[in-house]
A and B are shown apart, each in its own frame.
Chain A
Amino acid sequence: NAGVTQTPKFRILKIGQSMTLQCAQDMNHNYMYWYRQDPGMGLKLIYYSVGAGITDKGEVPNGYNVSRSTTEDFPLRLELAAPSQTSVYFCASSYEGARNTIYFGEGSWLTVV
C-alpha cells in the first residue's frame, strides 16, 4: 500500500517556466489537498478537492491550478513560475474529509531561480 505518492521529489525551475507536480493516492480517499510549507512555517492550503471533478481554492491559490479527473490523481500546475513559489509542496488525502485522519506525501522541493 503506497499511500500518497508525489513526484518529482526535487526540481529547479527558471522564472517563467511551468511545471506539474504529480500526486496519486491508492486509498480510495475522496478528499485531496495541496499544501505548501515555507521554511520555519506551518503549511498553507493551496487547493483542495472533495471528489473527482470538484476542486476549490484554499488560502494561497494564486499562480497555481489543479484538476481532479479521477479519484486517485490530483496534479498541481504551476504557471509562469516565480521566486515566491520556491517552497516544499505536500499533497495529502483523507476519507470523508473532516472527521478522519489526513495522510501526507513525502513532499516535493521546488526552487525557482
Chain B
Amino acid sequence: KQEVTQIPAALSVPEGENLVLNCSFTDSAIYNLQWFRQDPGKGLTSLLLIQSSQREQTSGRLNASLDKSSGRSTLYIAASQPGDSATYLCAVRMDSSYKLIFGSGTRLLVRP
C-alpha cells in the first residue's frame, strides 16, 4: 500500500532564505507526483506536476525534483517571501488508479 510522508510537519524560516520541502513515498511505481499549496480556509492550488519520466519541473522560484528509485521528491523555494506562507502538500498518482494519495503536508511560515 502506497504511503506518502512529508517531513517536517512545520517549518519557520526568515524571509529571503532558500528552503527545501521533502516528500517520500513507499511504492516507486508512480504515474506522476504533484505539489500543491493550501492557504488557510481555501482549497488546493496545483504548483508543479512531474510525470514519472521527468526528473524536475520549474515554475518561477519553485523547483520540484523527482527520484523514483529512492522514492523521494523535493520542492525547492528560492528567496522565500512572507506570501509563501501556506501548507504544502505532495500527492502521488499510481499507475493503475486515478486517485491521488496525499501526504499530510508541511506548514510553512516565512517570517518578515
Main secondary structure of the interface of B (DSSP, over half): strand
- Chain A residue, CB-CB nearest to B99: A45
Asked if A31 CB lies within 8 Å of chain B CBs, one says yes
Query: What 1/0 flags go to B32-49 for Cβ under 8 Å of A?
Result: 101000000111111001
Query: What 1/0 flags go to A69-110 for Cβ under 8 Å of B?
Result: 000000000000000000000101000011111111111000
Residue of B32, B34, B45, B104 with most partner-chain A CB within 10 A: B104
Q: Is the CB of B102 within 8 A of A50?
A: no
- Chain A residue, CB-CB nearest to B48: A101
Within the complex, the shortest CB–CB distance from A7 to chain B, in Å, comes to 13
Chain A residues within 8 Å of chain B by Cβ, number: 26
Q: Is the CB of A107 within 8 A of B98?
A: no
Q: Is the CB of B42 within 8 A of A101?
A: no
Q: Is the CB of A97 within 8 A of B32?
A: no
Asked if A41 CB lies within 8 Å of chain B CBs, one says yes
Chain B residues within 8 Å of chain A by Cβ, number: 24
**Which among B32, B89, B105 is the interface contact of A98 at CB below 8 angstroms?**
B32
Q: Is the CB of B103 within 8 A of A104?
A: no
Interface residues of B (CB under 8 A from A): 4, 9, 31-32, 34, 41-46, 49, 51, 89, 91, 93, 98-105
Interface residues of A (CB under 8 A from B): 4, 31, 33, 40-45, 48, 50, 58-59, 90, 92, 97-107
23 contacts between A and B (CB under 8 A): A33-B99, A40-B9, A40-B104, A42-B4, A42-B104, A43-B89, A43-B102, A44-B102, A48-B99, A90-B44, A92-B44, A98-B31, A98-B32, A99-B32, A100-B49, A101-B34, A101-B46, A103-B46, A104-B43, A104-B44, A104-B45, A105-B43, A106-B43
